[in-house]
Structure 1
C-alpha cells in the first residue's frame, strides 16, 4: 500500500470535549508506545492543543462546529468561522476527503459514528480503499439516533471492518457489546476506559507537593440552567467550613455571562475561577473533592485520580449520561452522588460536598487502560509487531 501515514484519527466536535479528549488520549498512547509510527489527529475542536499539552501528537485543525442545547436537545449554529452549519459540514467533508487522499493512512479511526458529524466522512470513504477503517464507540452510547440508524449500518458495512469499544464489560455488562455487534455485524474489541489524564501522567512531569484544594468544579460549557446552578453552588460553598481550603471553578471565561458568574462568588474569599485548560487535571489530582458533569471524559478523570465527586447531569435526550453515571456509581467510590443540574438543591450540594470531603476512595477495579489497549490494537492493524512497542 502506498501510504504516507500510519494512523489518522478523526474526532467528532461541536459541544463537549469528550470525543476529542478520548481521541487525543489514544493518539498520545500511540506516540508513546510506538514512537516510530506516524500519527495525525483531525478535528475542529479549538481546545485540542490544550488537551494535548506537552504530548507528542500533531493535529490538523478544521473550522469548528458550534452547538446550542435547549431542553436537552442539541442543534447546530454558526461557529467561530461564521459559516452556516450545513454549509460548514459540506466544506469540512471536502477537507477530510483531501486529507485522506493525500495521506492515504494505513488505519483510520473514526470516533462515535462511521458517517461523521453531518455525514462529513462519506466523501473520504471513496478514496484510499486500502485503508483499514475502525469505528471507536464510548462505553455507553445512549439513544443516539445517528449511531443506531440504518445509515450507520450501511456506511459501516461498506467502508469499515473493525470496532473498538471504550468500555469495561464488568461495569456495563455484555448488553452494550451485544447490541453493537447485532447492529453492525462485527464483534467489538473491548479496550477499557480511555483516559487522556493517564497518558499525560506518563509524560513524567512529576507532581509538585502543595496544600490540598478543598475541591474543583468543572463547568466546561454553559447551558440554559448554568446561571441558576452557579448561584446554588455559591450558596452551598458559603456554608462549608473554609478550613478545608480553596475551591477552584473551571469555566470558559470567554463566554458571555462569565463575568456575572464570577461576581456571584465575590463574597467567598476561598473561591477562584480559572479558564478551562490543562491545569484542571493537575488541580483535580490535588483535590479532596470535585463537582463534574457526567460526561465520559470527566467520569474517567475522577476515577483515575480517585477523587470523591458530585456528578451533575444536563438531562440530554439521549439518556447516555444518566445511564452511565448510574452504572459507575455502583462500581466506583469516586462517584458519590448523582443529581440533575436543574433540580439539585443548595442543601443537597452542601451535604454531598461535605460527604466527599470526608470520603476516601479505594483502588479502582475498573479497566482504565483503554488508551494503551486501543493504541496496541490500532498499531497491530497498521502492521506493527508488538516487539516494537516501548515499555
Structure 2
C-alpha cells in the first residue's frame, strides 16, 4: 500500500500543522489504500481530527522567544541537544516507514537543518521528495538572504524533486527571488489555495447565544501575537456601542492567561461582544459568521475564501512581512479589505477607525465577487500531482534492520 510522510516543524503557532493536516485528510480521501504519517513538533498535533489512515509522530517541541531566538519548549535540555534528538527521531521514522512520497512544509532543510540526514536517506530509498511552500513567505530579499545563510537553498536544489506552491500563480510568486536551476524551477506547481470545510461530528465547544444570529468572528489563529488586534476590536465596541453586528472573539490556544483574563473583564461589560476559548473546529464558527476579522495568516485566509466571508485583515509585519504582503495583494484583487495596524507603524490605534471598518463589513462584497480561476483548487490538484507516484508505488520494502 502507498505511504506518504509529511514533515511539519511547528516552531510557532498553528499554521504549519493545520495546513499539513488539511493535505493529509485530502490525500486519504483521494486514495483509499493510503497511509499517511505526520511528523510534527506542535504541542497541539493531536488536538485536531485526523481521518482514518493518518497518524502522527510527535518530536520534542521548540519555541520562539520574543527576540526571535529559539529554545526547548519542554525538555530541560540545550537547543542543540533537542535538535539532535529531533533529527534522530525524524530519520528513524523515515527509515522505518519507508514512504513513497515525502512532503516537507516550508523549510527545505527543516528546523536548523534537522531534515538533511533524512533527506539523504529518502533520496537513496527512491522516495519522491516534495517541498510545499505557502503562497507568501516574506519579503523576497529577506527570504533569499535567509535561505542562503541557513542552507535551505542548497537543500532545495540538492534534495527535492518537486515544489508545490499552495496558492494561485496570479496571486503571488514567492520563489521568484530564489536562484535555482532552470530544471528545478520548471517543476514548480501552483496548486491554488487549500479549500476548507466544516469538520464532521459535534461542536468541540459551546458557543454563546450571540452566535445563533448574524455576528462577526474575530480570530487571531494561534493567538500568541494577537493581543493588538483583539485590543483594537474591543476598544471599538467600547467607544461605539451601536456597531451593527455583535462580535464573537475566538481566543487562540497560545494567548497568555494574563491577556485572556484582562480581555474577559472588558468583554463582561460589553453586551454585544462574547468570547470563546480554543476551538479545534473553528471552521464551524466561521461558516456561520456573517463576516470575519483576522490577521491574515495562511489558514485563516484559506477559510475566509472557502466560506466566502466578507473579511477585514489587520496583519502583523514582524518578524515577517508575510501577512502584510498577502493582505495588500488580496485587497488589490478585491478579496478582502486591508487595514494597517497603527502599532506596526509606531502609531496608536483609533477606536473610531476600527468601528467604521467593522460597520462597513455589513456592506462589503464576499471574495466570490472577484473571479479568480483555480483559486481554491489546491487539495485536488495536490492529489492529482502525486497520482503517478502513489498509483504506481508497488515496490519492495526492505524491513528496517536495527543495530544491536
TM superposition score category, shorter chain reference: 0.7 to 0.9
| Aligned 1:181-330 pairs, distance under 5 A | 182=180, 185-187=184-186, 188-195=188-195, 197-198=196-197, 200=198, 211-222=212-223, 226=227, 229-238=229-238, 239-241=240-242, 244-252=245-253, 255-257=256-258, 258-330=260-332
Number of equivalenced pairs: 370
State how far apart, in whole Å, the 2-side matches of 1:231 and 1:176 are: 32
Question: What's the offset of the Cα at 1:186?
Answer: 2.9
Question: What's the offset of the Cα at 1:9?
Answer: 0.6
Question: What's the offset of the Cα at 1:222?
Answer: 4.7
8 Å CA contact retained: 1:69, 1:224: no
Partner of 1:388: none
| More RCO (CA 8 Å, sep 6+) | 1
State how far apart, in whole Å, the 2-side matches of 1:286 and 1:244 are: 13
Segments of 5+ residues of structure 2 without an aligned counterpart are: 204-210, 394-404
For residue 358 of structure 2, the aligned residue among 353, 356, 365 is: 353
State how far apart, in whole Å, the 2-side matches of 1:225 and 1:362 are: 24
Q: What secondary structure is seen at the aligned counterpart in 1 of 2:257?
A: coil
State how far apart, in whole Å, the 2-side matches of 1:339 and 1:100 are: 43
Deviation digits for residues 89-110 of structure 1, max 9, x if unmatched?
1110010000011111111101
Segments of 5+ residues of structure 1 without an aligned counterpart are: 386-391
Partner of 2:399: none
1:10 equivalent to 2:7? Answer: yes
For residue 33 of structure 1, the aligned residue among 26, 30, 33 is: 30
State how far apart, in whole Å, the 2-side matches of 1:166 and 1:305 are: 18
State how far apart, in whole Å, the 2-side matches of 1:96 and 1:263 are: 44
State how far apart, in whole Å, the 1-side matches of 2:334 and 2:39 are: 33
State how far apart, in whole Å, the 2-side matches of 1:120 and 1:267 are: 49
State how far apart, in whole Å, the 2-side matches of 1:53 and 1:338 are: 35
TM-score normalised according to structure 2 size: 0.82
8 Å CA contact retained: 1:289, 1:353: no
| Aligned 1:94-113 pairs, distance under 5 A | 94-113=88-107
Q: What secondary structure is seen at the aligned counterpart in 2 of 1:52?
A: coil
TM-score normalised according to structure 1 size: 0.84
Partner of 1:365: 371
8 Å CA contact retained: 1:112, 1:147: no
State how far apart, in whole Å, the 2-side matches of 1:63 and 1:205 are: 31
8 Å CA contact retained: 1:109, 1:133: yes
